[in-house]
């Protein structure tokens, strides 16, 4: 067997996993329109990637109608969306897999054309994403708008939306949820000093900037129990205009604040991956999130970003991480665990079919056929 560390069992919360190779949460923009509910095609996609005792983290799903910034992404706030996700979950459970749902609000990474009533997107502060363009709902490339700063009185409503989305995910039959606190979206906008210019209890000090994340995490944990809640962070990420000048003080505080909660896991995006579906970033002189934060974090640690079977196995063997989430090569290799374990060749991915569309580049990547190979 190849990669014995990667293919050893792992306990995550109440779940005994049979291996440590997870599907990373991947935006694919293939939900039903206009309901933005998952459809049978999505259930097929996840079922293809499910293995007995393997963890899948389903794609980021907005917790409320203001949380969207892309077309065709599934939500988790209507009955129709819950029903669509239930079909996905049932298909994964039929294969013996474990599936968590990632809860999302994009904040300023949106455009008024996606917002109910065509209003401006919301954010911690009225700071636009500079030097990047976004797509409108009808596909035009335009500069980002300056978002509207949330009133202090509105913040509990957003926390409540996460709480309700957590309940909806429970109704849909998921095994747990992951809170998206990475990649320049709403939670990270509250965390980082250049996007959070607030002067109330949610801004200023590191402790105040962490408050929104902690309130969301505690609300979701009330629904699920902390042992079935994960959180994703990208301390050195550069996605969607994110980036803290000195990430260590902020993220050390975040990790230490989370420790007492007893979460299922913490999930890092390594700095060598942009986290925004774009090409690899420059590998030179970038730190390793798992190495930096492993000494601080007391629980299960998952990390993601450009791993191969070789590097994933090494990271686990060295004790830097407990599991590795794979994205792009899991897209093009639905049977990725089997291929790595048995040394079968990998199918290259086609970046042009990552987002939107239908079957092509989604469910039409074949599993490895040993007979044909022979």
Confidence label for 338 from pLDDT (cuts 50, 70 and 90): very high
Q: In this predicted structure, what is the pLDDT of residue 277?
A: 47
Name the residue with tokens 């300056």: 146
Q: In this predicted structure, what is the pLDDT of residue 285?
A: 64
Cβ atoms of residues 76 and 165 within 8 Å? yes
Flag whether the pTM goes above 0.75: yes
Q: What is the mean pLDDT of the chain?
A: 95
Is the pLDDT score of 122 beyond 60?
yes
Q: Is 251 assigned a catalytic role?
A: no
Q: Which residues make beta-bridge pairs with 177?
A: 101, 229
Cβ atoms of residues 213 and 254 within 8 Å? yes
3-state secondary structure of 250: helix
Is the pLDDT score of 278 beyond 50?
no
pLDDT (average), residues 73-99: 98
Is the pLDDT score of 312 beyond 60?
yes
Q: In this predicted structure, what is the pLDDT of residue 110?
A: 98
Cβ atoms of residues 174 and 98 within 8 Å? no
Whether the upstream peptide bond of residue 34 has omega within 30° of 0, thus cis, is yes
Q: What percent of the chain has pLDDT over 70?
A: 95
Q: In this predicted structure, what is the pLDDT of residue 275?
A: 53
Is the pLDDT score of 370 beyond 90?
no
Q: In this predicted structure, what is the pLDDT of residue 75?
A: 98
Is the pLDDT score of 58 beyond 60?
yes
Q: In this predicted structure, what is the pLDDT of residue 281?
A: 47
pLDDT (average), residues 317-326: 97
H, E, C per residue of 275-300: CCCCCCCCCCCCCCHHHHHCCCCCCC
Closest CA to 173 of 224, 219, 118: 224
- Give, in degrees to the nearest 5, the angle at Cα 321 between 318 and 325: 130
Lowest pLDDT segment from 44-48, 256-260, 277-281: 277-281
pLDDT (average), residues 268-282: 63
Q: What are phi and psi of 17, to 5 degrees?
A: -85, 150
Cβ atoms of residues 155 and 218 within 8 Å? no
Q: State pLDDT tens for residues 192-232.
A: 999 999 999 999 999 999 999 999 999 999 999 999 999 99
Q: Considering 45, 46, 144, 185, which one is annotated as catalytic?
A: 185
């Amino acid at each position: 067997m190849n990669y014995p560390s990667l293919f050893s069992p792992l306990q995550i919360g109440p779940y005994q996993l049979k291996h440590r190779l997870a599907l990373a949460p991947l935006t694919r923009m293939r939900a039903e329109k206009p309901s933005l509910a998952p459809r049978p095609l999505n259930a097929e996609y996840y079922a293809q990637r499910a293995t007995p005792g393997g963890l899948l983290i389903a794609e980021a799903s907005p917790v409320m109608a203001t949380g969207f910034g892309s077309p065709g992404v599934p939500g988790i706030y209507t009955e129709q969306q819950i029903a669509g996700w239930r079909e996905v979950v049932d298909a994964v459970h039929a294969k013996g897999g474990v599936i968590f749902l990632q809860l999302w609000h994009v904040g300023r990474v949106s455009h008024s054309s996606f917002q109910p009533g065509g209003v401006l997107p919301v954010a911690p502060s009225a700071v636009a994403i500079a030097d990047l363009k976004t797509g409108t709902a009808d596909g035009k490339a335009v500069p980002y708008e300056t978002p509207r700063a949330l009133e202090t009185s509105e913040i509990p409503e957003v926390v409540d939306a996460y709480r309700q989305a957590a309940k909806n995910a429970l109704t849909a039959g998921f095994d747990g949820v992951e809170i998206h606190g990475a990649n320049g979206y709403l939670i990270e906008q509250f965390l980082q000093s250049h996007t959070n210019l607030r002067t109330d209890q949610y801004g200023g000090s590191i402790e105040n900037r962490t408050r929104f994340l902690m309130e969301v995490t505690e609300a979701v944990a009330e629904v699920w129990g902390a042992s079935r809640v994960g959180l994703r962070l990208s301390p050195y990420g550069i996605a969607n205009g994110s980036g803290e000048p000195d990430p260590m003080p902020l993220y050390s505080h975040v990790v230490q604040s989370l420790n007492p909660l007893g979460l299922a896991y913490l999930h890092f995006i390594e700095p060598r991956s942009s986290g925004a579906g774009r090409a690899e970033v420059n590998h030179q002189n970038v730190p390793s999130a798992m190495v930096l934060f492993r000494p601080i974090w007391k629980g299960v640690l998952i990390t993601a970003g450009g791993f191969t079977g070789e590097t994933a196995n090494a990271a686990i063997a060295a004790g830097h991480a407990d599991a590795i989430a794979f994205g792009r090569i899991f897209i093009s290799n639905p049977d990725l665990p089997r291929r790595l374990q048995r040394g079968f060749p990998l199918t290259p991915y086609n970046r042009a079919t990552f987002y939107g569309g239908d079957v092509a580049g989604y469910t039409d990547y074949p599993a490895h056929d040993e007979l044909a190979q022979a």
